[in-house]
Structure 1
Amino acid sequence: MTDQNEVRLVKRAKQGDMHAFEELILQHEKIVYNVALRMMNHSEDAKDISQEVFLKAYRNIGNFDERSQFSTWIYRITANTCIDEMRKRKGRQSFSLEEELESEEGSMQRQVADAGETPEESMLREEQKSEILQALESLSPEHKVAVILRDIKGLSYEEIAEILELTLGTVKSRISRGRNQLKQEILKLREQDAHFIRHKRGKEGRQ
């Protein structure tokens, strides 16, 4: 969608044109869902968050500052909605190592090889992806959203600063700390896996 077309749609949506608003949402629904999915790690939660984001956008479209891009505004609503929901849930749920990890293509248990990949390469790629998603669960909502926007969605530091309404320095600091915590968590997960394998082999050897 061109910037000019987006500007026209926003102006019409502000005037109460539901079709214009729906077209804006259609252009951004995948972005909203994917960010929510990475943040919440569950497809049904991501769908619920997406609906809440679109409802908030509809209610507040009149307050949208047209000097910003609509995508930036939608990203901000999505990030804040996810952070709020994660804070509400804090302490009320735990992450299960046995739970299937969700991705845009489905659960992480499904291993679909890219063209030219050997089965071993495909399995390694999926294990690494699963490892990262699992490690993301250890981050605070604030660090998690910053890492997702930068390393998974590929946004610039400047774009993230605008979306989260933070200084550039704060964004860089959160991403750096989030990445360091991710590395530590991945190492911890690998140690746990190695311990489990050693324990299992020792148990089988005693049988």
Structure 2
Amino acid sequence: MDLLEAKIVKRAQKGDRMAFAELVELYKDKLYNLCYRLMGNSHDAEEVAQEAFLRAYANLKRFDSRHKFATWLFRIATNCCIDRLRKRKASYSLDAPLDDEDGGDMYGILPSKDPMLEERVLTRESRLELQAAIEQLPPSYRAVIVLKYIEELSMQEISDVLSVPVSTVKTRLHRGREALRTYMTP
């Protein structure tokens, strides 16, 4: 994949828009998921992911092919998320679904005959509680937690994405986990 990716990136750097479209297709889901975990909602995640792709396209000539394209793209997206989080004020979308994750509506309040419903509800509540706790973290801790545990990047890859030393990544990861423990403790 890396050799194929390198060829696609070289074509894109030479101005081939279809090559860049291939890169978007390769990374759109991973980038959206990263942005969703950092931003906490789908609307902002979509906007930030688009912004990251636009910035990547605008700066494609500056990409150093000795590095992984994914790391470079994740760095751009993470920086866009952190910038947006710093500027964020409380915002509410009128077209947001009642339930962020599943797009629920009023039909969701009708009783179900599914015997596994209680287990699914508890699992979903745990995920929502964890996501809420992650959203309370400062952006620098949030980025490290998401990149490590959700995107499953190595310490070195996180270091590359965030442009910080590995020791800083380890410190932020430790402090982020400690903060999560306090947020998750009843």
Deviations 1:43-70 (A, max 9, x none): 1111111111111011000000101111
Match of 2:175 among 149, 162, 177: 177
What is the TM-score with the length of structure 2 in the denominator? 0.87
The alignment partner of 2:152 has SS state of coil
Residue 108 of structure 1: how far off its partner (Å): 8.5
Q: Does 1:67 align with 2:99?
A: no
Residue 39 (structure 2) aligns with: 40
Aligned residues: 174
Q: Which whole-Å CA distance do the structure 1 matches of 2:174 and 2:53 have between them?
A: 31
When the two structures are superposed, what TM-score results if normalisation uses the length of structure 1? Answer: 0.78
Give the C-alpha shift of residue 127 in structure 1: 1.1
Distance 1:108 1:165 in 2: 39
1:152 maps to a residue whose letter is I
CA distance in structure 2 between the partners assigned to 1:34 and 1:107 by the alignment? 17
2:20 equivalent to 1:27 = no
Unpaired stretches in structure 2, ≥5 consecutive residues: 109-114
2:90 equivalent to 1:93: yes
Aligned to 2:112: none
Shift of 1:163: 0.9
The structural deviation recorded for 1:42 is: 1.4
Runs of 4 or more, structure 1, over 4 Å off, are: 107-110
SS in 2 for 1:137: helix
**Higher-RCO chain (CA-CA 8 Å, sequence separation at least 6):** 2
1:2-35 superposed Cα distances (whole Å, 9 cap, x missing partner): 1111111111111000000110111001111111
What is the RMSD of the two structures over their aligned residues, measured on CA atoms? 2.1
Matching of residue 128 in structure 1 with residue 134 in structure 2: no
Give SS of 1:134's match.
helix
Distance 1:108 1:161 in 2: 38
Deviation at 1:119, TM superposition (A): 2.5
Identity %: 38
CA contact (8 A) 1:57 1:74 kept: yes
* Alignment equivalent of 2:148, drawn from 142, 147, 150: 150
Aligned-partner Cα distance in 1 for 2:104–2:177: 22
Cα distance in 1, alignment partners of residues 171 and 123 from structure 2: 28
Amino acid at match of 1:80: N
* Residue 119 (structure 1) aligned with residue 102 (structure 2): no
Q: Which has the larger radius of gyration?
A: 1
Equivalent in the alignment of 1:139: 137
1:153-168 correspondence to structure 2 within 5 Å: 153-168=151-166
**How far apart are residue 107 of structure 1 and its match?**
4.9
Q: Distance in 1 between matches of 2:147 and 2:137?
A: 14
* 1:103-136, Cα deviation, whole Å (9 max, x unpaired): 4xx35897xxxxxx83332122111101100111
Q: Which runs of 5+ in 1 are unaligned?
A: 111-116, 191-207
The one-letter code sitting in structure 1 at the alignment partner of 2:10 is K
